[in-house]
Structure formats: C-alpha cells, structure tokens
Amino acid sequence: MSVPSLSARSSLESLNAGSSVESLRCSSPALSDISVPDTLPPAVSGPMVWEGSELKDYVVHFTPSEIEAIEAAVLSFRLSGSPIECLDRSNFPLPPFLASKLAAVSKEAHRGCGIVVLRGLGASGVHVQNDGNDQVARFNDKEATIAFAGISAHVCPLRATDSYANQTLSHVWDATQVKAPAGAEGIGLAGSKVNVAMDFHSDRFSGDVLALHVRNDGGSGCGGEQYVASFWRIYNALLETEPEVLETMASADWPFELKQKDSAPYLELGPTLFFSKGKPMVQLVKAPLLGTPHIPREPNMPALTDKQMHALEAVESLARQFSTKLDRQQGDIQFINNLSIMHARAAYHGTNSKPSTRHLLRMFLRDPENAWEKPASWLHKFDDPFTPGRPQNIPIRDTDPHRGISGRDSHG
C-alpha cells in the first residue's frame, strides 16, 4: 500500500505566510453523518496521513518581535487585574501579524498534519536552546500560565472544562512522592500525575485539540519523551489488512468504567472509533477500559472481549510502527489534533534520588471556525466539555494532585 504524500507546502511555510493550509482530501465524496457505519468509509488521504520521518516542518518559531508582543500582552493582562479564567482574545491583544499566524496554527491542526509546536517561550532560570533566535521569553509560573492561555485563545478560542473535576487547566507531573491529605488517602493518582510510560491513546470526549506547554522537560537522560502517530495512517493500514479491527472499534459496546466522586463507578458503553463525513475520529484511552495500578478497575465491571483486546493490541502495534518522537524543547507549546493523532509517553525519573522536575501544563481546546462535525448521536458527549457558562479552574500551581483531576482518568 502506497503512503499518500504530505502537502507540498510545509506547515512552517503556511504559517509564516499566514494563509490557509491545503484542505483535507478524501478519496470519495463526503459521506453522510454516521457513527457506526454499515460499510467502513474508504481510505483517507492528505497531509494528516503520515508515518515516522514524513512528519516534518511542524515546529514554528516565534520571532523576536513576536516574543516582545507576547510579553507585552502578558504584562497588559496582569495590570488589568482580571482573573485568568476571564482571559480571551479581547484582553490578550496581539498585533494582526501574530494573531494571523496563530489562527493559521488552528488550520494546520485541523486540516494539515495535525500537529504544531510553537517555540520561543522559555522558563525562568532554565537554559533554553533557541536555535538561533536572538530572544527567548522567560516567564514565572503565573506569567507562563497567562501566556499559555492567551496564545491558545488566539489558536482555538474555546477551552474545555471537565465536568467531573471542574478543571480547565491541569498540571502534568510526578506527584507519587506527595503525601495525600486527610480524607484523600484512598484516591488514586490520575495518569497525568504519575511517571510511568503510557501507551498510544487519544483523550476521550475531552476536546478537539490537546494543548501542552512544556514548563520543564525533566532534563536530558531522564525519560518522558513524547511520541505521536497518525491514526489516519493506522486506519488505512487496518482497512487493508484487518478491517474487522475497525468494525470492532466502531461498535458501541466498549465497557468504559466512569468513576464518581461520592458513589460507585458506573458502566458506559460506547465506541472507540467514530465517523463523520468520511473522517475517522479515534477516542481510545485504556485507563477506563482496563484500569491502572493507581486507579484499578472495579471487579464487577465487564472485561473486554477477545476482539476488543486484539483491537487494542493491533492499534498499539501500528501506532508504534508509524510513530515518531515529538521534537520538544523547554517552553514549547504543542497543539495536537485529539481526534486524529494518538500520543504516548515514555517513563521518566529524576536524578540523584530527587523527584523528576518534568512539568507540563495541559488544556483541551476547540475552534468553532475549524472544528470537525461530530456524529449526531454522540454530539452531546463531544460538546459537554464546552458547555457554556461552566466555571473554569486555571490553577497556577497544582497544590493538591489527589483531588479534582484524579478519578475518571480519561486523560493520558
């Protein structure tokens, strides 16, 4: 099977030009809105179908003048005295040339290769390789959070808030050495709070675009590398070799265990693969299907079938085969399409018996202008994190990792 080529115009060229990216192409006319199809849609093509070293030119550098504009916007917002939860495009003003560049990031995430990394924001007191740029922004914790939320608002204006944890921004770090406070001793840590490796996944019903800000990469030789894989490439391979795996994924009988704060977990059946107008959308995360060492699955929950276990293994095997390590530096902001790109993480550790310093900020986003249509029967699930009026929690520091975000563990 031949691999479709990437768009002739690279992400970097498109973003620097401030113009739209080549539209997605499918090998047949758009199909009607479907979730569990009678016939699997045909192979997909375009820049979002890639493997290994074919993914390139996705790192976009801020110029010195753009960094100055971001620093000015951060200062302006701080002087306003407004809470970060109220931050949006209007009170994080950027010059038109930079606002246009960030708008193009959304187009690339939705219509291009599905991944963009913005580079140029460093961390206070940490050496940052700047690849020739004369200037690197260095922010304290509050300023970094403002910059992350402000830049993200110009890429995708809507921020998701988890209805279970009431969390909009979460901290990804190793909290296994943190003592649980009184009353939280039995609460397991979510996957974002432990340092073990994570298989390839996408975060289920969490948002269209995953945004990560690398405050600290943990240091050389300490692990924690990030990997990405195009599910569209996986889809095409399975369509040719094992279409029954795709049929299993699209069946609405996967037994997701959803935790609750003050009562027993409950079972929710659903697919791990959705379709809308010919676009395959993967929503596969293993924690609520298999449990984790920190949050075990309840024994009364149904086990996965042999076909479902085989589907997990087949997808993981192909993801590893087609994946590439994400180019990462301190201060990067990563935007990853959470519907078409799967991501994984290597285990990580500290040095000299000290805990790891690895620390990422995470949000899930949506851009109504570029968002993909969702299957009608599952629209309420995809839309729930973006419920209007829901209070947002954007903590500067993660002071209690045992509460709030721990529980459902639908995030990787």
Assigned domain for 394 exists:
no
Letter for the amino acid at 409?
A: D
Number of domains in the chain: 1
The pTM assigned to this predicted structure is: 0.88
Looking up tokens 């569209």, which residue turns up?
232
Cα 318 to chain centroid, rounded: 19
d(CA 33, CA 94): 38
Indicate the burial class of 36 (C-beta count within 10 angstroms; 0-12, 13-18, 19 or more): middle
Strand partners, 211: 335, 363
Assigned domain for 391 exists:
no
Assigned domain for 7 exists:
no
Assigned domain for 363 exists:
yes
Q: What is the pLDDT along the chain (412 residues), one digit of tens a residue?
A: 333 332 333 333 434 433 332 333 333 333 334 444 568 999 999 999 999 999 999 999 999 999 999 999 999 999 999 999 999 999 999 999 999 999 999 999 999 999 999 999 975 433 344 444 446 678 999 999 999 999 999 999 999 998 877 789 999 999 888 887 776 666 678 888 999 999 999 999 999 999 999 999 999 999 999 999 999 999 999 999 999 999 999 999 999 999 877 788 899 999 999 999 999 999 999 999 999 888 889 999 999 999 999 999 999 999 999 999 999 999 999 999 999 999 999 999 999 889 999 999 999 999 999 999 999 999 999 999 999 999 999 999 988 787 654 444 444 4
The closest alpha carbon to 409, from 268, 281, 267, 297, belongs to 297
Assigned domain for 17 exists:
no
Whole domain around residue 77: which residue ranges?
30-386
CATH of the domain at 146: 3.60.130.10
- Token pair in block for residue 138: 């260095």
Assigned domain for 10 exists:
no
The closest alpha carbon to 47, from 266, 369, 341, 362, belongs to 341
